[in-house]
Amino acid sequence: MFRQHCLNQNPKSWHALAYSLLVFLLFSQSWPSIMADEKVAKPHTWQDAFKVLGISWNPDGTLNREILIPMVNATPILTDPNNPPLALSADIQLSPESKAYVRLYIPVTPPATTKLPLIIYLHGGDFVLYSASTVIFHEFCNNIASQFPAVVVSVEYRLAPENRIPAAYDDALNAIFWVKNQALGIGRDPWLDYADFSKVFLLGSSAGANIVYHTALRTLDFDLSPIKIRGILLNQPFFGGEIRTPSELRLIDDPYVPLYVCDVLWTLALPHYANRDHEFCNPIAGGSYLGRVSRLPRVFAKADEGDPLSDRTTQLVELLLKNGVSVVYEYNHGGFHGIELQNTTAAQSLYNAMKFFIYSTGVTDHEDSHASY
C-alpha cells in the first residue's frame, strides 16, 4: 500500500518540498554507517537498501511503500482565476476492467487554431516507486504542457515486484494504443481535439526513459496509424549491467543512486530468471531488440557527469548512432541524477532542450544525425 497523501490544491510549493523529503531520506537513511571514523565502508545489505527506499515486505510478498512524497489530484477546471494552475489535468480510466489510467494535461489556454504536439510521458521511480500522480512528476508534466505548449499523456503503470518488467512496457504500449483510438475518434476525449496526432513523442525520466526506449522498439511491430511517433526523449535513463562502468565505479556511493540500491531495485524489477545483462536492463548486451534499433525515430538523450548511470547513456547513444539513428545528446558536466527535480535552473534548461528537440523535429521520417557531447 502507498502511504502518500493526496492534496486537492495546486501543488506548486510541494515541488521543492517533495524533493527535499526524498533527498532527506536518501541522506539520513542510506548512510547510517557513513564511517564517522572508519576508512572502509561496511558491505551494504538488502535491509540497508530497503531503508533507503522506504519499503518493506508485506506478508503476502507485496511491498509496503512508506516514502511520504505527496500525491496530488488532477486539476480539471480553473477554479480560481487569481491563482491558476500551470496546466489543466484530468484522470482518464483506460478500461472498466482494470485500474489502468492516464493523467491528461493541456495548457490552461490552448491555442484555438494550432494543434499541439502530443507527449506520452513515463515517470521515474526505478520501476518500484511512485505514480503518475506523485507531485514531482505531476508538476513536471504541468510545466511541459504549459511551456512547450503540448498535450501530455502521463501513464500510470504497474510497479514491481508485484508486476515485474515487462508489465510496465505493456502498460505503456496500451496507453499508446489508447492514443491511437483517440486519433481514430473512438471515445474521443474533447481535450484530445487540441493534439496533433502526426507529432507524437515518447518522453521518460530514469526508469520511465527505460520504458520509453523498450516500448518504442515494441511499437515497431504494430501499425499505429493515424498517429506517428516522431521522436523519443530519454532523460537520465535507468539502465545497468553486470560489469560496472567507469562512472558507476567513480560514483559507487552516490547519494542519489548508490549502486547497491540500484542492484536491489533491478532484482525486484527484472523477471526472476534474469540478471542485469538482460536486455531489459542492459540494452547493448544483445537480445531480441537489437535488430530493430535502426528503425527507431529521432532520439533525444540527456545525461549528467555526476550521475553514476551516465556511461550507460553514452553507450546507448553510441549504439544508436552506429545503427544510423538520428540522436541529439545533451551531456552536462556536473549535475546528478534527478537534478531537474531540485534545481530550477537545471529544470528550465532541460525544458528548453526538450522543447527545441520537439519543435525542430520535422515531419519527414529521416533526420540528419547529430550528437553533442
Q: Compute the distance between CA of residue 173 and CA of residue 214 in angstroms, rounded to an integer.
A: 10
Q: Which of 307, 310, 311, 326 is catalytic?
A: 307
Cell 504494430 locates to 222
Q: How many residues does the chain have?
A: 373
Cα separations (Å) of 296 from 12, 291, 313? 36, 11, 16
| Eight-state DSSP code of residue 338 | T
Q: Where are the alpha helices (DSSP H) in the chain?
A: 14-30, 46-53, 135-147, 167-183, 207-219, 246-250, 259-269, 310-322, 344-360
Question: If we measure between CA atoms, which residue out of 206, 210, 214, 154 comes closest to residue 178?
Answer: 154
44, 138, 214, 337: which is the annotated catalytic residue? 337
The yes-or-no answer on residue 337 being catalytic is yes
Instruction: Count CB atoms within 10 A of the CB of residue 267.
Output: 16
Q: Tell me if residue 171 is catalytic.
A: no
Q: Where are the beta strands (DSSP E) in 184-334?
A: 195-205, 229-235, 298-304, 327-332
Sequence letter at residue 38: E
Is 126 known to be catalytic?
A: no
Phi, psi angle pair for 302, to nearest 5°:
-130, 135
Of 89, 154, 206, 247, catalytic:
206
- Sign of the torsion angle spanned by Cα atoms 249, 271, 172, 282: positive
Q: Which residues are catalytic?
A: 206, 307, 337
